[in-house]
A = this chain, B = another copy of it.
């Protein structure tokens, strides 16, 4: 339970970090979309460990294979099964994890809930699980782009105290991809990279914020009252590993404003109803209003650090544990395609739901 996401564009992910592989089945993709592995692989490459000097050096090529759901390069309307074989299997590197719980990881809760856990590499709670999401998200993004002209982007906008300025209406994928931290504000990006390198040198880690953006969303997506667009986005983001918060539009800053300051006045602009400001973040009453959708996702610092920490062992005895081997000082650059994927999955699901009820 809990490994299915979406109602009409429904994905099921599977796989432990150190089993046979990881993958996803997409049920509900419309037929006749041109689709090959070449549409998926680039996003997996952006998610992959070892892609730059500021991410974990784990070595996996993460080559995706489509096993079903396409024929002669187009989708059939049947389930699309995709998977990536696990390569970097080194259970010995994790031997201490068999008997000791890593602080702020999922070892203890998985062990207690299920009475068993795949301790090498974190099993299902590993970031490796997101491969399936990113593969499915790549299809969702392509559908959004081709069928509805919707563009989904994400960018690192804060690393620890370093904040970037971005223009959500104009920032481009090229600007985001122009540096290894995936921050389109190039001056701050350099500082971020230096900070991450310093932290890596300390055997420590940092968190930050990824901002998600969707441009071109038509008016009308979202299904109140429970499946408001922002509610489904919040769930999608908080379902990513290491996330601690989500806000949309004005978000937590809305708290400091009065109603007269916060409201977005409507104006007619070239025959379209527009809002003058966009504190709503592109959603009103749970339904997209035609303005750019934007939201922030808070990521905590990676829990694995190269320092000795207090913990307990599987027998409930106090112990200490020190991370060793590979070390990921900052998950943010790799989180960018994860945020994009989950955003796209939410949007395409609501696009299909809208088409079902209100066409």
Contacts and interface: CB of A to CB of B under 8 A. Distances in A.
**Oligomer copy total:** 4
Given A105-B285, A263-B303, A14 B81 contact: yes
Interface stretch (A42-50, A170-178, A227-235): A227-235
B244 A287 contact: no
B208 A255 contact: yes
A240 to B, nearest CB: 9
Interface residues of A, number: 155
A219 B112 contact: yes
Interface string A245-262: 111111110111111111
B199 A258 contact: yes
Interface in A192-215: 199, 202, 204-209
Contacts of A289: 108-109
Interface in A83-126: 83, 101, 103-110, 112-118, 123-125
Given A1-B353, A22-B68, A259-B301, A117 B76 contact: yes
Interface in A280-323: 280-281, 283-289, 298-305, 307, 309-312, 316-318
Q: Which of the listed residues A160, A264, A298, A305 has the most CB atoms from chain B within 10 Å of its own CB?
A: A298
A355 B355 contact: yes
Contact of A355 (B65, B226, B359): B359
A199 B319 CA distance: 55
A71 B14 contact: no
A244 to B, nearest CB: 5
Contacts of A310: 265-267, 276
A112 B220 contact: yes
A352 interface: yes
Nearest to A79: B14
Contacts of A227: 1-2, 239
Contacts of A60: none
Most interface-central of A103, A289, A303, A356 (chain B CB within 10 A)? A356
Contact of A76 (B65, B106, B118): B118
A260 B207 contact: no
24 contacts: A3-B226, A16-B71, A23-B67, A28-B356, A32-B115, A78-B114, A103-B275, A104-B279, A105-B284, A106-B285, A109-B284, A109-B286, A109-B287, A109-B288, A113-B287, A160-B256, A204-B258, A207-B254, A226-B239, A238-B246, A252-B252, A260-B307, A260-B309, A268-B318
Given A20-B66, A234-B246, 4 more contacts: A28-B357, A76-B116, A76-B117, A261-B301
The 5 closest A-B pairs by CB, nearest first: A106-B285, A2-B223, A245-B247, A205-B259, A235-B235
